Structure 1
């Protein structure tokens, strides 16, 4: 009887199996050339072994036999034409050999045959971000040549089909008899027409004002997570409902790494990806991976979005973690006169920095500085957030009119009628089917009050014993600064036995937990709104909340309140709710009788109404003003490193214009190879100026550079390896509209690595700018101070944005 063995699940002869084993042993010891010989001998005996051809390609590539590696991978593509893996590794091979054009072609093949291949899509992103010679247009050209079709999804085809169907239905409807027996058919056709109208993409000429929803952070969120949390849910629900608004041009846009443009997100793909996102938390689900990669590829290859002039760019989510966000906003403001309207959910990193990691606070402060410099008006989720906005604006030196802030309460119904209701028996998988429990839905981090909840449960256990204390079910993913929460559980076995922690639940599972809990708690120390409170009330469940920030607004008369940060008060409130069933029933009846959540259509309509109100009541909503520099001061173009705010804090980042910049770092900012522009506002009564720029070069190569100055001849120079150098020129009084415009471009570029979205990516960069200094040309005192600070390395003493300490009484007495 002929014996066979298995290799990667495939039957092989004993002789081939021995060769593969020898190859694997050689590979494990780093002997790639020897491994290649054994793998080659194996496929010589059995050429049908796809996985061995792949391993042969790897071995040849590692031993630098690149032509043989290519032949092995190509053979693998012949054996499995629909597999993306060999094309992916061909792309890696071509990158190693420096043939980025062929690498891009291979990655596109991988995506084409395997849309779920996340690595291939990621490589296409990197190709666009690096100086690989691979451009969007070239990618499109390859796709047309190789596949003869357009892989970029748009809503145009859907729109044409929908409009044709609408026309046909209209004709049918016009010829239907008006008899009673035809009423059902008439109603049916009318409903179909209404649904078609909602599906069809908005006509470019429809609507008096265009609303463009920026979903950049939502698309970015999907790159590392699936199930939406509070802010993501707000965006999904509000945008989805706004798409159905009549007489309004609504679009969705974003920007991504590798594409220096605002890009339009196809509405059909937005609906598909958001609907998939709430089904489960499984990020490896093939349907999810395929849809996400399809969206990313569409965005990589999409045409730049042309904003309708005067459109309103609305960001309902967060953008503080998006690098260069305001550079993109400024570009759209300058080109299309758009008005930027952010939805501000909270000021947590500024108000409670002790509950945030340092980097988050620094990035948020950068965003806060930028938001007041770019926004035409504001949307907020509560009166508490409005008060915080006005306080922060005042500290930063911005006089914000309270009437320019619209409060959009997030008291909408988060339940989804289409969500499948799981049977109560499903609770058994968490051991919750036979005991009462209290629900706490929140990311697990210090600010959310989990330590307060744990200490309250310890108090209840001491009062009533573990058996009579209800189980606390905490639902949420891990956040930051939560060590103390888990320490409480580690230090008390009795507490740990009464606490269950669940993460990454689907909408169906979360609904099941809400429907069957006794009540919920939300002891958060600070919030912008408090979505879990609203969600609990929507399910008819009493909620005990902390009396802090916006939570009394979210809970209103329906929630029970305990002092924020007090485990004893929380324990008392829980005790009343647990051991007094009549009281609990009364609270539940009040919710069932009087609580009426709004629909998301209502929320979307309010957003629309508030924007229209701001437009019509303030027709002179200002275009973005060119920021003015301070004469006699240094303006660093750096990333913010402060963890608190003070009057006058800012950044020279605001003077960057165009899209020829990477984002600021702690030392300064690299330009892109095409060059970065500076637009600097000057005093109206200014005199001739002396201008100084501090340039920075890479450590391993000289870099020629050119500085173009509008109205003056260009200045050329060359930086030595690792050099930073001051460059200066005189700027006379010109007919320049009070604006100094410059463009800095380097003659050498390098691929550098920068962190974005939690990952390290490669970008093409050129000459860097650390900052600039302006003074009047005949102000010799200012010039002397500058020269002294520059030579002594104390230029930060002249920082236009540094904190100035107010003199104390003791200092005044001393001076007197």
Structure 2
């Protein structure tokens, strides 16, 4: 039964408009026990649209074997339930059991034939991940099969603007993604005003003119009840994949300097939560070979949402010294847990946290040391002041985000730009 909020949101779509939500990314991750940020976004798009516009919603995907088609709703809902349970509890099944479960999932979600649209129906193909976007011909084939207009979420243009932080082929691949979206999409959603400005710079002079709307990513409080890993107090958390732009190297050198100058007894601990990514040899060398920081820096990967929530709620602060961000979901996740945030002074992070966090230049090591030591104290004035600011913070909601998406689709539909 449609809720009052759902009925109001569904009414944002003009009569005859339908949404086909792409779930290719989630299907491609059936053998991964824990999610990336993009995985979480695609799943919450499915959940929120099921709540806000269920009678206008269909699901489709290119499965891991390369076949495209529609996905049955009941099987999708079961898949979403199982995926969320895995992320929340992470029982870490043995590889054969995970492969068997993935095979069952992909069988239930085998692509079905695309039905012909009823008279008067206009379809909008909505994609919240960059999956397959580097291949414009594949995207065009999906749109032709659906006779649909294309609307996509853009997470960032970091590989283009900061190619030094991307994989070796990252910049070129992301240029192709952006050209696909610029050339085929009728509307684009930016996760921040900072991302929207980057999009406009990239599209300038290309002739592409999709409608662009800013919709901050929503955030849900991480579940409670997780067992806290063994880590001495006081401690700080950094929550991200270990990759160059996240600036873990600054924190490791900060911790080494604090241990050397303040002594091990006065130095707090650091929990690094996230998988190891790419181009991070210097960080890995320090984690594995630096005897100076051993015992004070603790690396965790594959933690369930419950355990991550427990770590954040008991931490002195989340640290986010990134060089570049599209939005900054860890910032909103930490604030929702009631945990203060110390982060880089970036426009996207100011959008995520508003005036609540303490912002520091990501190259200013001495200032990071000062802030960390201030926040370590039991009677920390800066930490208490941030907690006071947090009381007046309004987190971005997924309902608000999806309502912006629905309004964008309505604007495209009403503009008369309904060509596929």
In structure 1, the partner of 2:128 is: 316
Q: Of 412, 416, 420, which aligns to 1:619?
A: 416
Asked if structure 2 preserves the Cα contact closer than 8 Å seen for 1:273 and 1:292, the reply is no
Q: Distance in 1 between matches of 2:354 and 2:396?
A: 14
In structure 1, the partner of 2:273 is: 475
Q: Secondary structure at the match of 2:417?
A: coil
User: Taking structure 1 as the reference length, what is the TM-score of the superposition?
Assistant: 0.47
Q: Distance in 2 between matches of 1:368 and 1:244?
A: 30
Q: Deviations over 1:705-730 (max 9, x none)?
A: xxxxxxxxxxxxxxxxxxxxxxxxxx
Q: Secondary structure at the match of 2:332?
A: helix
Asked if structure 1 preserves the Cα contact closer than 8 Å seen for 2:187 and 2:408, the reply is no
Q: Is 1:582 aligned to residue 381 of structure 2?
A: yes
Q: Deviations over 1:297-353 (max 9, x none)?
A: 1344x4222364531111112225x674x3233124335431111100011211111
Asked if structure 2 preserves the Cα contact closer than 8 Å seen for 1:542 and 1:559, the reply is yes
Asked if structure 1 preserves the Cα contact closer than 8 Å seen for 2:134 and 2:173, the reply is no
In structure 1, the partner of 2:58 is: 251
Q: Of 136, 143, 146, which aligns to 1:333?
A: 143
In structure 1, the partner of 2:287 is: 489
1:307/1:240 CA distance change after superposition, 3 Å = farther
Q: Equivalences for 1:691-770 in 2 at 5 Å? A: none
1:607/1:399 CA distance change after superposition, 3 Å = closer
Q: Distance in 1 between matches of 2:116 and 2:190?
A: 24
Asked if structure 2 preserves the Cα contact closer than 8 Å seen for 1:255 and 1:262, the reply is yes
1:565/1:263 CA distance change after superposition, 3 Å = farther
Q: Is 1:406 aligned to residue 216 of structure 2?
A: no
Asked if structure 1 preserves the Cα contact closer than 8 Å seen for 2:60 and 2:68, the reply is no
Q: Distance in 1 between matches of 2:244 and 2:91?
A: 23
Q: Secondary structure at the match of 1:252?
A: strand
Q: Of 30, 41, 48, which aligns to 1:222?
A: 30
In structure 2, the partner of 1:276 is: 85
Report deviation, 1:262: 2.6
Q: Distance in 2 between matches of 1:247 and 1:264?
A: 14
In structure 2, the partner of 1:717 is: none
1:502/1:335 CA distance change after superposition, 3 Å = closer
Q: Deviations over 1:437-485 (max 9, x none)?
A: 1011000111111011112222322442221111010000111111111
1:258/1:509 CA distance change after superposition, 3 Å = closer
In structure 2, the partner of 1:541 is: 339
Q: Is 1:387 aligned to residue 170 of structure 2?
A: no
Q: Secondary structure at the match of 2:125?
A: strand
In structure 2, the partner of 1:699 is: none
1:600/1:368 CA distance change after superposition, 3 Å = closer
Asked if structure 1 preserves the Cα contact closer than 8 Å seen for 2:249 and 2:282, the reply is yes
- Mark the structure with the bigger radius of gyration: 1
Q: Distance in 2 between matches of 1:484 and 1:265?
A: 47
Q: Equivalences for 1:770-785 in 2 at 5 Å? A: none
Q: Of 235, 240, 248, which aligns to 2:47?
A: 240
Q: Equivalences for 1:22-61 in 2 at 5 Å? A: none
CA RMSD of aligned residues (A): 2.6
Q: Distance in 1 between matches of 2:68 and 2:102?
A: 20
In structure 2, the partner of 1:466 is: 264
1:467/1:272 CA distance change after superposition, 3 Å = same
Q: Distance in 2 between matches of 1:282 and 1:574?
A: 34
In structure 2, the partner of 1:262 is: 69
Which deviates the most, 468-477 or 214-223? 214-223
Q: Secondary structure at the match of 1:496?
A: coil
Q: Secondary structure at the match of 1:540?
A: coil
1:487/1:228 CA distance change after superposition, 3 Å = same
Asked if structure 2 preserves the Cα contact closer than 8 Å seen for 1:228 and 1:277, the reply is no
Q: Secondary structure at the match of 2:294?
A: helix
1:501/1:194 CA distance change after superposition, 3 Å = same
In structure 1, the partner of 2:113 is: 304
Q: Distance in 1 between matches of 2:350 and 2:90?
A: 31
1:277/1:490 CA distance change after superposition, 3 Å = closer
Asked if structure 1 preserves the Cα contact closer than 8 Å seen for 2:2 and 2:51, the reply is no
Q: Distance in 2 between matches of 1:307 and 1:599?
A: 35
Asked if structure 2 preserves the Cα contact closer than 8 Å seen for 1:207 and 1:248, the reply is no
Asked if structure 2 preserves the Cα contact closer than 8 Å seen for 1:528 and 1:549, the reply is no
In structure 2, the partner of 1:421 is: 225
Asked if structure 1 preserves the Cα contact closer than 8 Å seen for 2:182 and 2:208, the reply is no
User: Taking structure 2 as the reference length, what is the TM-score of the superposition?
Assistant: 0.88
In structure 2, the partner of 1:365 is: 175
Asked if structure 2 preserves the Cα contact closer than 8 Å seen for 1:544 and 1:560, the reply is yes
1:289/1:269 CA distance change after superposition, 3 Å = farther
Q: Distance in 2 between matches of 1:355 and 1:281?
A: 33
Q: Deviations over 1:546-568 (max 9, x none)?
A: 11251121121001111123322
Q: Distance in 1 between matches of 2:93 and 2:324?
A: 30
Q: Distance in 2 between matches of 1:240 and 1:313?
A: 17
Segments of structure 1 that go 5 or more residues without pairing to the other structure are: 1-192, 625-816
Q: Secondary structure at the match of 1:495?
A: coil
Q: Distance in 2 between matches of 1:314 and 1:504?
A: 29
Asked if structure 2 preserves the Cα contact closer than 8 Å seen for 1:348 and 1:526, the reply is yes
Report deviation, 1:512: 0.8
In structure 2, the partner of 1:803 is: none
Asked if structure 2 preserves the Cα contact closer than 8 Å seen for 1:283 and 1:289, the reply is no
Asked if structure 2 preserves the Cα contact closer than 8 Å seen for 1:466 and 1:494, the reply is no
Q: Distance in 2 between matches of 1:207 and 1:244?
A: 18
Q: Equivalences for 1:17-166 in 2 at 5 Å? A: none
Q: Distance in 2 between matches of 1:270 and 1:208?
A: 28
Q: Of 294, 298, 303, which aligns to 2:104?
A: 294
Asked if structure 2 preserves the Cα contact closer than 8 Å seen for 1:264 and 1:304, the reply is no
Q: Is 1:514 aligned to residue 312 of structure 2?
A: yes
Q: Distance in 2 between matches of 1:438 and 1:244?
A: 36
Report deviation, 1:371: 1.8
Asked if structure 1 preserves the Cα contact closer than 8 Å seen for 2:234 and 2:376, the reply is no
Query: Which structure ranks higher in relative contact order (CA pairs < 8 Å, sequence separation ≥ 6)?
Result: 2
In structure 2, the partner of 1:609 is: 407
